[in-house]
Amino acid sequence: GLTGEDVPDVCANADEASSMKANPVALPEDKLRAILRHDLGIPPLGTYGLTGEDVPDVCANAAAASSMKANPVALPEDELRAILRAAL
């Protein structure tokens, strides 16, 4: 299965994070990852033991949660999985 090592950090240090955020052609998710990991110090979810093997179960449980049912924008499970994998 997919692990946190399969989703590389987009920036190795603060200088690279600053460059990523200023890059007009960088993907929004890469910019967000740079902000979360380097500006705010939030580690990837793999740090807490979440693995790619956990993604299907976590997403299925999230999709069934009452808070998701009240969300005005329904996210398909494949989008939930992609979001979670990017956060590993």
- Taking the C-alpha atoms of residue 81 and residue 29, their distance in angstroms, rounded to an integer, is 14
The token duo for 22 is 């200023």
* This model's pTM is above 0.75: no
pLDDT tens-digit map of 18-72 = 776 777 777 777 777 777 777 778 888 888 999 999 999 999 999 888 888 888 8
- Strands (DSSP E) contained in 4-76 are none
User: Are the C-beta atoms of 35 and 21 separated by less than 8 Å?
Assistant: yes
